[in-house]
Amino acid sequence: MSEDTTKAPEAEQLVRPSVPALDKVLGVKFDVLDDGFVRLVDYMGSDAAIVQAARVSYGKGTKKTSQDRGLIRYLLRHRHTTPFEMCEIKLHVRVPMDCWRQWIRHRTANVNEYSTRYSIAIDAAQQTEPSQWRRQAPGNKQGSKGFIDPGDGELLSKREREIQDASREVYQERLDAGVSREQARKDLPLATYTEAYWKIDLHNLLHFLSLRMDDHAQMEIREYAKLIGYEIVSQWCPIVWEAFLDYNMEKLVLSRLEIDIVGAIGRGDKQRAIEMATGFGWLKRGEKGLLRHRERNEFEQKLKQLNLPIPWKE
């Protein structure tokens, strides 16, 4: 092929696929937190594109929709993940830097962030309502549980406004003194909002969502993740979204150890179940009965969810 070749291409032209339900919200801001947002900028593909890639077909002979659904669910259930990479989405988001620091740890996305070297920092920081200060979780070192008394919250919120205002004042003083933007920003609070274009394929987006919609994720990023999932992905690829909830978000995983114990429960051998749990070190006792044991607790939750008896209770 020489570079000036003029091709006479065969005539099987396609129309670019689109998703009408998604086109309706293109460019629309979905609010998150007190001043953040998520905004769909562009997308590529749909449920149909996944089926097409899985079949490496010619875009012609699509089968019945019911078969498409079965295929997508099969692919997701069996970790055939590459067809899901054939869909891509681009969002414009506004997020506190603190939250963005977690977000950006997902390395498989394309990112263009607002530059505070180049431009004046966005004049907004995420603010916390008096009723929204969360307590440190006692059991879980990296979580929160419940809320601070709103009376005490009043003071915390007042102090927050003061420190955010003071920080911004210092920032402005520096700019006024001629300090470079790249250095002036150094003491802005982590709650300062930033903006970014964020582009990712559907497979990696689902991975992001499965981690960030999870109860263990910090509340702030969970808000973003849920919005992206329930408002955008659910419209974009509804069959995928349903399968994702069924086979991923709401799945239950049993380890080899747990399978063995459930097997004993299943054949009614409570004694053997207790022996195995003892062997795993799950049933150590202190003065007040069973000692706390994280893995055993997790397992007990699973047994409850399955309506199966906990052999060592009763």
Which residues inside 136-165 make contact with a second copy, applying CB under 8 A? 136-137, 141-145, 148, 152, 156, 159-160, 162-164
Choice between 124 and 170, CB closer to a second copy: 170
Q: Residue 285 carries which DSSP code? A: E
Nearest-CA neighbor of 94 among 32, 26, 27, 42? 32
Contact 69, 241 (CB under 8 A): no
Question: CA 69, CA 59: separation in Å to the nearest integer?
Answer: 17
Among 212, 285, 292, 296, which one carries the catalytic annotation? 212
Binding letters toward a second copy, positions 252-291, x by CB under 8 A: xxxxxx-x--xxxxxx------------------------
Q: Which of residues 22-41 bind a second copy (CB under 8 A)?
A: 23-32, 41
CB atoms within 10 A of CB 257: 15
Smallest distance from a second copy to CB 144, Å: 3
Q: Which of residues 160-199 bind a second copy (CB under 8 A)?
A: 160, 162-164, 166-167, 170, 173-174, 177-183, 185-192, 195-197, 199
Please report how many Cα atoms fall inside a 13 Å half-sphere around the Cα of residue 123, on the Cβ side: 8
Smallest distance from a second copy to CB 132, Å: 9
**By CB under 8 A, how many residues form the interface with a second copy?**
143
Smallest distance from a second copy to CB 179, Å: 5
Q: Residue 188 carries which DSSP code? A: S
Smallest distance from a second copy to CB 96, Å: 7
Quote the tokens at residue 154. Answer: 């009043």
Choice between 140 and 285, CB closer to a second copy: 140
Smallest distance from a second copy to CB 111, Å: 6
Burial group, residue 271, by CB count within 10 angstroms (0-12, 13-18, 19+): exposed
Question: CA 175, CA 143: separation in Å to the nearest integer?
Answer: 37
Does the annotation mark 185 as catalytic?
A: no
Binding letters toward a second copy, positions 212-251, x by CB under 8 A: ----x-x----x--xx--xx-------------xxx--xx
3-state SS class at 4: coil
Contact 8, 62 (CB under 8 A): no
Catalytic residue numbers, as ranges? 212
